[in-house]
Amino acid sequence: MPEITVDGETITFENEEEPKLLQFCLDQGVELPHFCYHPALSIPANCRQCLVEVGTPARDRESGELERDEDGNVKINWMPELQTSCSISASDGMVVKTHRTSEKVRRGQKDNLEFLLANHPLDCPICDQAGHCPLQIQSYKYGPEGSRFEFRKIHKPKRVRLGPNVTLDAERCINCTRCTRFTEEISGSDQLTIIERGVRNYPLTAPGEEFDDPYSMNTIDICPVGALTSSDSRFQARAWEMSRTPSITTTNAKGSNCFYHVRDNLIMDVTPRPNDAVNKFWLADEDRLDYKRFNNDRPEGPQVRRKGTLQSASWEEVHEAAADLVREAGEKVLFLGSARATVEDNYLLKRLADAVDADAPRFIPHTEPGHGDGWLRTDDRTPNRQGVERLGFRPVDEKMLRSQLDAGEYAAIYVLEDDPVASGLFEAEDLKDVPIALHHYNTTNETLPVANAALPAATVVETVGTYVSEDGHAQRVRPAKEIKGTSRILTQAMGAARQDTHGTPFDKWHNDQNRVDCRPGWVSLPAVAEALDRDLSHEGPKQVMGEVAGNVDAFDGATYDAMGLAGVRLEAESDRATAA
Amino acid sequence: MPTENGATKVKDWRNYDRVLLPPIQDLHKLEVYENEYEGYEAIRSILGDSEQDPEAVTNEMKAANVRGRGGAGFNAGLKWSFMPEPDDRPRYLACNADESEPGTFKDRQLMEYNPHLLFEGILIANYAMQIDACYIYTRGEYVDWIMEMQRELDKLYDKGYLGENIFGSDFSTEIILHKGAGAYICGEETGMLESLEGKRGYPRTKPPFPAQNGLWGYPTTVNNVETLAHAVLVMRHGADWFSGIGAESHPGPTLYGISGHVERPGVYEYPTGMLITDLIDKVAGGVRGGKDLKAVVPGGASTPPLRADMIEGVTMDAESLTEAGSLMGTAGILVLDEDTDMVSWLRRVAHFFQHESCGQCTPCREGTGWIEQVLARMDEGKGRIRDLDLLLDLSNQIEGRALHRGRLHRRRRARPAGGSGGTGVSGRPIASFSRRMFSLLSAIRQTVMRKT
Ligand SMILES: Cc1cc2nc3c(=O)[nH]c(=O)nc-3n(C[C@H](O)[C@H](O)[C@H](O)COP(=O)(O)O)c2cc1C
Ligand code: SF4
Ligand code: SF4
Ligand code: FES
């Protein structure tokens, strides 16, 4: 196998891919400073930061034999200039010196950073990127101590609205062209280009055009400085004030991997989490802008209808009220599962329906034809339709359901984390005489005003559970923020999941502010069951999912351990059908 | 005195008969070009002669050793031979008429007075490389000549000299005139290709070279206007005639653009290899007002300047100029007299490079402006001693980060002539630009050396 020597350490590699030196070193855990290189984009080698010394073994011209010195060591021909490691391919016998061993490389890196900082505004104290800024970090690590630039810096526009979601601070731009390459090579919208020349350069759209690419906000993440900022979350929180939790987004059925950034139990930002099997490095804008519903319009605890009005109640009371309405309806309960709720909660709902001899739950599909783009947006606007379908739930037949309701076939409706009124399944009017138990996320839920027992539900950022994407990718979610009350399971899961890279005393994540009085389905459903003298008790969602994976063929292999951080691809239903 | 085969030796430059810009009235018109200049005879005879297959034409060019007149001085025939075998993909010739190097204005003269020589040269090149279309990327400011050239091109299409089945042969080719929008970096060949494609003129990384991955990703050759014009002369008079003119290693007629402090600035056609002193004193009428010479920039602003005491015996060809520490470039000679304030001049040059830096790569983008500011401060009399070190440092930081100048000079000399102004040696992308910057830097060094 070909081998290459980096700072004296010899490493073998597969030749087929001709790895670029920079990526190769990064893969080996050798940090090489760089800005313009991005593994998903073309290689312009324009920032000139990733410098290394490169030598190749000398070969005799005639015989092709390696030349050796007196001691028998292979002679190395060093290239006279420093090379950009991002653009040079590793080849057999290559010898590389990085800043760890070469003064020349250190000098080159320092010089280049001095140039990059010459006209840089040094906005760090007010810059959203500060704290996780490659320019800031690399300047500290590899840059010069001061600057010899004693002139007025170039000034450029500091608040350019590129489009609805992205705001540019042109002064901070280091012209790496990652953003323009993203629109050219990844999203294909071609909306950004660099304008002006030389030191006045910055990215912009064509005159009169908007940067309204549905993936525009990815440029914010790949921008190595604080030039591109989220119009929505800029100046809201410093990087080190937030903790981040790996999870997935739920605005569509793609299951894109993300991080939820949290401060004081409020979600502040959503950024992509790389997963080759799902979303690579990217996230649709809609996935990032969807977080406010986790913070706003949240219920203030359970409610029960008394003398016609919804009133606050204790969790015991609401469990009793929900149990009462199920008990009274006997088997005539319409159970509605939810493509927005986790597999675990839907599974427990199914068991509850079984326990009272009601029909299996159905679910309300939420599709928006034409919304999907074959990439990270889908027509399906729910995160778990596959999950409920794999549990055997069928979508509701609106017409039939309405006539059944009119015919008095249902004496109660039990809704798990959905909104039959807002989705148009029923008119609120029609539900006046049917008692309803409702697990809901937000006070804006339009079924809430006609509910009899309202059980606030934990959202995707507050619970533990599993979702199955449109492509059959089963993925776990982890709690990013705390809810009222204590749950050993949630606390442990939260602690284990937090990839809090900062973990400083400034981290206000663990506190009592902004906790919502809500409960995961896997807490409240067994409680309702218990009030009905049925047993749905379990050891936690992990065990529930283990049970699902063990009992339901369509979930074969989907255990928590197997899903880990990257998820598992479940066998397609059609494949299983043909196999059977 | 012309030698037996009609070629003029350098020493006989006074008897030289102009061939690129002969004194013929209205030569820019097709009728005149055909009737009084044997116009289109070269391509006609190639197309009518079964011996003259494309390879033979390329070989003739190679043998003539026409060194590219766009600056890098690479053997044009050799460059043509780098084109891959024709396949079903399109292939292009891109004629570099962007001429924006300060002190360079010779292509304009050709386009104004003898444009058909360029068109015929393009036909020959397209035939030799079996190319379907040539784009002429003209400097946008040459708007008058662009319109004039378009009129002449239309005549060629009308007469069947261009388009389908040229002169009734089975050879077909097109010429498309394109007007640039005024950026120096669009004269760098890959920047030009990007610009032709409708993109921002950011030079590409090389390799791959245009022959592999050129215009719209297809095989492309880039040649300067004058280089292509020479193709007609080579095919008309033969490679021996051409290589017998002027300097042995850098032969042929050439256009010297002489500007600055001389009595008679202008474009002069003579053999290569002329003594710089002859060009200044005898051709251009000497330094203006009888003043002493201070320095000469021999090949456009991006070639290193030579002090008056460095030009004794130096001739205008790659070999001699490299020896002297400069480059042939575009043979645009800028003459500076004894009163020239070198710092002020340098500041002006630095301003040009700062203004024209495309800004793609960090050292050039940030370094050029910084250098200009330091020079401006010096020029305004507010310089500090440490500015000299700073300038040297910044120069080194831009140019390959070598730490002493001797090394740089050695390396430049060792570099094989060619690579079409490119960056192939090290694969540094925008190095082509910083390489041009190098001359500025060396000018700084020389000024600094003189001042200290
Ligand atoms: C910054 C820069 C500017 C250039 N400008 C021109 C130009 O205006 N005209 C030109 O013919 N060549 C120019 N060149 C050289 C071209 O890159 C290229 O080498 C040349 O067009 C090749 O033609 P030739 O081989 O016929 O000389 C420039 C090169 C650089 C690096
Ligand atoms: S981009 Fe980075 S270095 Fe620049 S101001 Fe922001 S944090 Fe500081
Ligand atoms: S805005 Fe950011 S990503 Fe775009 S070119 Fe500037 S530094 Fe690079
Ligand atoms: S990362 Fe290599 S030049 Fe930018």
Q: What is the pLDDT of residues A453-492, one digit of tens each?
A: 999 999 999 999 999 999 999 999 999 999 998 789 998 8
- CB contact, 8 Å: B362 with chain A? yes
In this complex, do A81 and B401 lie within 8 Å of one another by their Cβ atoms?
yes
pLDDT value at residue A18: 77
Residue with the smallest CA separation from ligand 1 atom 24 is B68
Whether residue A138 has its Cβ less than 6 Å from ligand 4: no
Nearest-by-CA chain A residue for B403: A104
Angle between helices A315-329 and A521-531 (to 10 degrees): 60
Of A87, A116, A198, the CB nearest to B355: A198
What is the CA B177 to chain-centroid distance, rounded?
Answer: 19
Within 13 Å of residue B351, how many CA atoms lie on the same side as its CB?
Answer: 10
Query: Taking a C-beta distance cutoff of 8 angstroms, is the pair B128, B61 a contact?
Result: yes
Containing B339, the helix (H) or strand (E) segment is none
pLDDT value at residue B430: 37
Q: How confident is the model at residue A66 (pLDDT cuts 50, 70, 90)?
A: confident
Q: How confident is the model at residue A329 (pLDDT cuts 50, 70, 90)?
A: very high
Query: Taking a C-beta distance cutoff of 8 angstroms, is the pair A44, B359 a contact?
Result: no
B188 Cα to chain A: minimum distance (Å): 15
Cα–ligand 1 centroid distance for B422 (angstroms): 9
First-last CA distance in chain B:
48
Q: H/E/C letters for each residue in A228-285?
A: EEECCCCCCCCHHHCEEEEEECCCCCCCCEEEEEEECCEEEEEEECCECCCCECCCCH
Mean pLDDT over residues A178-191, rounded? 97
Query: Taking a C-beta distance cutoff of 8 angstroms, is the pair B8, B271 a contact?
Result: yes
Sequence-ordered list of residues with C-beta below 8 angstroms from that of A313, at least 6 positions apart, any chain: A301, A302, A303, A304, A321
Nearest-by-CA chain A residue for B430: A46
The tokens for B372 are 């200009």
Burial B156-186 (b: 16+ CB within 10 A, else e): beeeebbeeebbeeebebbbebbbbeebbbb
Nearest-by-CA chain A residue for B360: A46
Q: Does pLDDT of B405 surpass 50?
A: no
pLDDT value at residue B8: 62
Q: What is the pLDDT of residues A516-527, one digit of tens each?
A: 999 999 999 999
Q: What's the DSSP call for residue A519?
A: B
Mean pLDDT over residues A36-44, rounded? 96
In this complex, do B357 and A116 lie within 8 Å of one another by their Cβ atoms?
no
Of A43, A87, A201, the CB nearest to B359: A201
Full-model pTM:
0.91
Q: Does pLDDT of B423 surpass 50?
A: no
A226 CA: nearest ligand 2 atom: 1
The answer for B350, left when phi > 0, alpha when psi is -120 to 50, beta otherwise, is alpha
Mean pLDDT over residues A308-337, rounded? 96
- CB contact, 8 Å: A61 with chain B? no
Q: How long is chain B?
A: 452
Mean pLDDT over residues A361-371, rounded? 97
In this complex, do B362 and A112 lie within 8 Å of one another by their Cβ atoms?
yes
Q: How confident is the model at residue A72 (pLDDT cuts 50, 70, 90)?
A: confident
Mean pLDDT over residues A330-346, rounded? 97
B191 CA: nearest ligand 1 atom: 17
Cα–Cα distances in angstroms (integers) from residue A325 to residues A308, A363, A414, B225, in the given order = 15, 20, 9, 90
Q: Does pLDDT of B7 surpass 60?
A: no
A37 CA: nearest ligand 4 atom: 1
Query: Taking a C-beta distance cutoff of 8 angstroms, is the pair B68, B419 a contact?
Result: no
Query: Taking a C-beta distance cutoff of 8 angstroms, is the pair A437, A451 a contact?
Result: yes
pLDDT value at residue A512: 84
User: Rounded to whole angstroms, how far apart are CA atoms B46 and B120?
Assistant: 12
Question: Which domains occur in chain A, in start order?
Answer: 3-115 (3.10.20.740), 118-230 (3.30.70.20), 303-579 (3.40.50.740)
In this complex, do B366 and A82 lie within 8 Å of one another by their Cβ atoms?
no
- CB contact, 8 Å: A80 with chain B? yes
Is beta strand B250-251 parallel, antiparallel or unpaired with respect to B246-247?
A: antiparallel
Q: Which of A124, A399, A362, A376 is nearest to A257 (CA)?
A: A376
- Amino acid identity for residue B156 in this structure: L
Three-state secondary structure call for residue B278? helix
On the 0-12 / 13-18 / 19+ scale of CB atoms within 10 A, A304 is buried
User: Rounded to whole angstroms, how far apart are CA atoms A286 and A375?
Assistant: 13
Mean pLDDT over residues B369-378, rounded? 94
Higher pLDDT, A430 or B66: B66
Shortest-distance ligand to the CA of residue B436:
1
Which residues is B92 bridged to in the sheet? B133, B220
Sequence-ordered list of residues with C-beta below 8 angstroms from that of A575, at least 6 positions apart, any chain: none
Which residues, numbered 295 to 354 in chain B, qualify as contacts with chain A under a Cβ-Cβ cut-off of 8 Å?
A: 354
Whether residue A37 has its Cβ less than 6 Å from ligand 4: yes
Mean pLDDT over residues A101-128, rounded? 96
Whether residue A461 has its Cβ less than 6 Å from ligand 3: no
B334 Cα to chain A: minimum distance (Å): 26
pLDDT value at residue B419: 29
Whether residue A124 has its Cβ less than 6 Å from ligand 2: yes
- Rg (Cα) of chain A, in Å, rounded? 29
- CB contact, 8 Å: B189 with chain A? no
Q: What ipTM goes with this model?
A: 0.87
User: Rounded to whole angstroms, how far apart are CA atoms A224 and A175?
Assistant: 10
- CB contact, 8 Å: A312 with chain B? no
Q: What's the DSSP call for residue A302?
A: -
Containing A454, the helix (H) or strand (E) segment is strand A453-456
pLDDT value at residue B399: 74
pLDDT value at residue B1: 43
Q: For the ranges A281-285, A344-348, B340-344, which has the lowest average pLDDT? A: B340-344
Size of interface A-B (CB pairs under 8 A): 106
First-last CA distance in chain A:
44
Angle between helices B115-129 and B54-64 (to 10 degrees): 120
In this complex, do A47 and B362 lie within 8 Å of one another by their Cβ atoms?
yes
Mean pLDDT over residues B386-406, rounded? 68
B320 Cα to chain A: minimum distance (Å): 25
pLDDT value at residue B413: 30
Q: Does pLDDT of B188 surpass 60?
A: yes
In the numeric block, the tokens 């850098």 are attached to B250
pLDDT value at residue A23: 95
Whether residue A445 has its Cβ less than 6 Å from ligand 3: no
Q: For the ranges A170-179, A421-430, A496-505, which has the lowest average pLDDT? A: A496-505
User: Rounded to whole angstroms, how far apart are CA atoms B194 and B360?
Assistant: 13
Of B367, B373, B400, the CB nearest to A115: B367
Q: What is the pLDDT of residues B233-244, one digit of tens each?
A: 999 999 999 999
User: Rounded to whole angstroms, how far apart are CA atoms A437 and A439?
Assistant: 7
Cα–ligand 2 centroid distance for B250 (angstroms): 52
Q: What is the pLDDT of residues A160-172, one digit of tens each?
A: 999 999 999 999 9
pLDDT value at residue A126: 96
A136 Cα to chain B: minimum distance (Å): 16
Mean predicted lDDT score pLDDT of chain B: 87
